[in-house]
Amino acid sequence: MKFRTEIETPKSPIPIHHKDRILMLGSCFTNNIGSKLENNKFNVRYNPLGISYNPVSIARFISHYGIDGRSILADDLWMLDGVYSHRDFHSENNTYSRASYVTDLDRKIDAYCDYLLTCDWLFLTLGTAWVYRWKDSGEVVANCHKKPSSKFSKELLDTATIVDHLDKAINRLLYINPKVKVVLTVSPVRHLKDGMVENNWSKSRLIDAIHMLKSEYEFINYFPSYEMVMDDLRNYRYYEKDLLHPSDEAIEYIWSKFQYKYFNNETSSLLPKIQQLVKAQNHRPMNPTSDSMVHFCKKNLALIAELRRKAPYLDVSKELNHFNALKQQYQQEKRP
């Protein structure tokens, strides 16, 4: 007897490899999967310029700041209560210094441009089709930064507008980086501040726009993270207490589906050993000078050697330095 409808996630014809360069942009859900990839030693960058929710701002990250490499203009910064911000970027970039805001973000943009134009995979997670326009310029903003609501107009993007912005940005990127594979997904986070009905209008337009793009381009793939939570798990037990964000259990479920879809047997076989090593590196010994500690170090140095032999492309330098340092500390303490 079946008690739920499980989402089918057929294998991707092109798997993700540890050697691939992966870039992930979009909503806060991007960070959930991006951190999983990072913790498993994938070459990934996720939201390097900060979180962005709407497709117009995400497309602007690709074209305006990524391909064009536009710098931040100090005159474009907002200042409220001594804090400097920019309408195109998340508040995580905010500072108390105008000069440091420009310098720090330009440095991030330079590194981001290099990665965008050479990445193998680009994942875009769309959060909402609701946008706010700054009345002074008419431009869609990524973040209002607590400016008075009277300074903005709110609107729901239509499907054609979403398709137009993403289509132009992706095509520009494809012209420069023809090897890139694009994966689109809709965030399962519920934007109930807009209203429950309004949230559904928003998500439906995002899904419709992605369907149109996917129908037009073979290199665009869809990962159904939204449907996994809303139609597969379909229970409030898989949400945090705020009833808006997927729980850790739901994220683990989506991650398992992600692994099945995008990893081949070679990649999947490495993950348990990588997690064993990462867990060991995070372990804090009670007595770093005990005999059991040197055995612990030797065991993990042997594991590092095995991983380097099987997958020389993995970066395990952090763990190698850690266990060598522990071993050296043990040897120094044991000297008479």
Q: Domain coordinates of the chain in residue numbers?
A: 21-263, 270-334
**Tokens found for residue 137:** 């310029």
Examine the pLDDT at 288 and tell me if it is beyond 70.
no
Please state, for a pLDDT cut of 70, what percent of the chain lies above it.
96
List CB contacts of 170: < 8 A, sequence separation 6 or more.
62, 182, 213, 217, 220
**Tokens found for residue 113:** 């441009």
Examine the pLDDT at 295 and tell me if it is beyond 90.
no
d(CA 94, CA 90): 8
Residue 286: the pLDDT is 64
**Tokens found for residue 256:** 């398992």
Any idea of the CA torsion for 138, 142, 147, 151, to the nearest 10 degrees?
20
Q: Are 167 and 193 in contact (CB under 8 A)?
A: no
Residue 219: the pLDDT is 87
Examine the pLDDT at 204 and tell me if it is beyond 70.
yes
Residue 283 pLDDT class (50, 70, 90 cuts): confident
d(CA 285, CA 292): 10
Residues 93, 99, 104: CA angle, nearest 5 degrees: 40
**Tokens found for residue 149:** 């609501």
- In this predicted model, what pLDDT tens digit does every residue of 25-79 receive, in sequence order? 999 899 999 999 999 999 999 999 999 999 999 999 999 999 999 888 899 999 9
Examine the pLDDT at 272 and tell me if it is beyond 70.
yes
- In this predicted model, what pLDDT tens digit does every residue of 303-333 receive, in sequence order? 999 999 999 999 999 999 988 887 777 666 6
- Structural fold of domain 21-263: Rossmann fold (3.40.50)
- In this predicted model, what pLDDT tens digit does every residue of 206-255 receive, in sequence order? 999 999 999 988 889 999 999 999 999 999 999 999 999 999 999 999 99
3-class SS at 296?
Answer: helix
